[in-house]
């Protein structure tokens, strides 16, 4: 297979700014078509990228080799099960689902079908970040780590195109940016064997984890930080000293290109990618465990 035919599901801001242009420009990919819950949006996006809209997901599955998802997790998970059952490889977005049963059903479907899968975690597929993560995992000897993954999507002065995202409003930063923090901490420190969670202001959550390596980590995640306070920092402390995650230059498009490369490699070699659906399931399990530790919102907080 020299060219992978990929269909895109989703037409929102993330699909328009990252998925569709990256897929259309990738030399190893043919953007077969686009489906969205709003047919007019699918038609418009397809026209921009020289593709065609589809009226139903299953019709698109029939015409492609793989499916890329830019959908809310509760919509992504059942459609990805159908795509896997149709024998299509999966380029998923994080989180793969926001419930463990849905994530497990998706993983089981991919395993039964024997399809390749890659979950797009921007930090893992960024060139500098990916190299740093691999180097720190190889170094070992880490004692503690802390991650701040704070966005200003829901800040009072936000102009983010994701501010009106219903699933982000409902699930908050724990589920939107929490996966990014875990995607960096887990490969370096090992699996999270214990997790606790505490609420902060607005949707902010503080996670505390004990890892299989013996290291401890904390992560502060949220989408409602003031713009001046938003940003990403990850710091590791251990026998090698102190090191921090390098900052990615530019936007997420190069990282998505590398995620497509990873899917092509997994399809071509038959070897699983480290960020496959099994890793996506584990991230969902950890976040679900953290969510269970959070006290219900008080009426004045809701």
Q: What is the pLDDT of residues 81-129, one digit of tens each?
A: 999 999 999 999 999 999 999 999 999 999 999 999 999 999 999 999 9
Residue 300: which pLDDT band, with cuts at 50, 70 and 90?
A: very low
Domain segments of the chain as ranges: 4-123+252-284, 141-246
Please report the pLDDT score of residue 295 as a whole number: 67
Please report the pLDDT score of residue 166 as a whole number: 92
Instruction: Name the CATH superfamily housing domain 141-246.
Output: Dihydrodipicolinate Reductase; domain 2 (3.30.360.10)
- What's the average model confidence in pLDDT over 215-238? 97
State the Cα–Cα distance between residues 96 and 80, nearest whole angstrom. Answer: 9
Print burial letters for 266-286: b (CB count within 10 Å at least 16), e (below 16).
bbeeeeebbbbbbbbbbbbbb
Please report the pLDDT score of residue 297 as a whole number: 55
Residue 58: which pLDDT band, with cuts at 50, 70 and 90?
A: very high
Strands 241-244 and 231-238 come out as: antiparallel
Q: Right CATH number for 4-123+252-284 from 3.30.70.890, 3.40.50.410, 3.40.50.720, 3.40.190.10?
A: 3.40.50.720
Between the alpha carbon of residue 190 and those of residues 5, 90, 182, 283, the distances in Å are 35, 25, 10, 12
Residue 63: which pLDDT band, with cuts at 50, 70 and 90?
A: very high
How many C-beta atoms surround the C-beta of residue 47 within 10 A? 12
**pLDDT > 90 in the chain, percent:** 92
Q: Are 167 and 207 in contact (CB under 8 A)?
A: no
Does 301 score more than 60 pLDDT? no
**Segment among 169-173, 196-200, 250-254 with least mean pLDDT:** 250-254
Residue 158: which pLDDT band, with cuts at 50, 70 and 90?
A: confident
Residue 302: which pLDDT band, with cuts at 50, 70 and 90?
A: very low
**Segment among 11-25, 42-56, 288-302 with least mean pLDDT:** 288-302
State the Cα–Cα distance between residues 4 and 265, nearest whole angstrom. Answer: 11
288 token code pair? 């679900």
- What's the average model confidence in pLDDT over 211-227? 97
Please report the pLDDT score of residue 1 as a whole number: 53
Please report the pLDDT score of residue 159 as a whole number: 85
Q: Are 199 and 207 in contact (CB under 8 A)?
A: no
Residue 287: which pLDDT band, with cuts at 50, 70 and 90?
A: very high
Please report the pLDDT score of residue 296 as a whole number: 67
> What are the helix (H) ranges across the chain?
13-14, 20-25, 39-48, 57-62, 73-85, 100-113, 122-125, 127-139, 166-176, 178-189, 253-269, 277-293
Closest CA to 151 of 254, 69, 231, 74: 231
């Amino acid at each position: 297979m020299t060219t992978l035919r990929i269909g895109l599901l989703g037409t929102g801001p993330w699909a328009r700014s990252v998925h569709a242009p990256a897929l259309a420009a990738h030399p190893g990919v043919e953007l077969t078509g686009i489906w969205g819950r709003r047919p007019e949006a699918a038609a418009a996006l397809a026209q921009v990228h020289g593709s065609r809209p589809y009226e139903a997901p299953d019709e698109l599955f029939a015409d492609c080799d793989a499916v890329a998802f830019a959908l809310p997790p509760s919509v992504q998970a059942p459609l990805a099960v159908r795509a896997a059952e149709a024998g299509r490889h999966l380029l998923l977005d994080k989180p793969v689902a926001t419930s463990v049963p849905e994530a497990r059903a998706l993983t089981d479907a991919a395993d039964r079908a024997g399809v390749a899968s890659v979950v797009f975690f921007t930090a893992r597929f960024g060139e500098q970040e990916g190299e740093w993560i691999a180097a720190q995992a190889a170094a070992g000897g880490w004692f503690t780590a802390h991650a701040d993954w704070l966005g200003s999507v829901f800040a009072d002065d936000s102009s983010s195109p994701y501010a009106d995202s219903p699933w982000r409003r409902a699930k908050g930063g724990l589920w939107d940016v929490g996966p990014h923090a875990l995607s960096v901490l887990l490969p370096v420190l090992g699996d999270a064997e214990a997790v606790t969670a505490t609420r902060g202001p607005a949707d902010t959550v503080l996670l505390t984890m004990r890892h299989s390596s013996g290291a401890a980590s904390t992560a502060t995640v949220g989408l409602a930080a003031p713009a001046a306070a938003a940003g990403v920092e990850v710091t590791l402390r251990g026998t090698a000293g102190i090191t921090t995650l390098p900052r990615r230059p530019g936007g997420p498009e190069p990282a998505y290109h590398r995620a497509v490369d990873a899917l092509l490699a997994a399809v071509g070699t038959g070897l699983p990618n480290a960020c496959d659906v099994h890793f996506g399931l584990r991230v969902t399990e950890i976040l679900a465990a953290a969510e269970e530790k959070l006290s219900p919102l008080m009426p004045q907080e809701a």
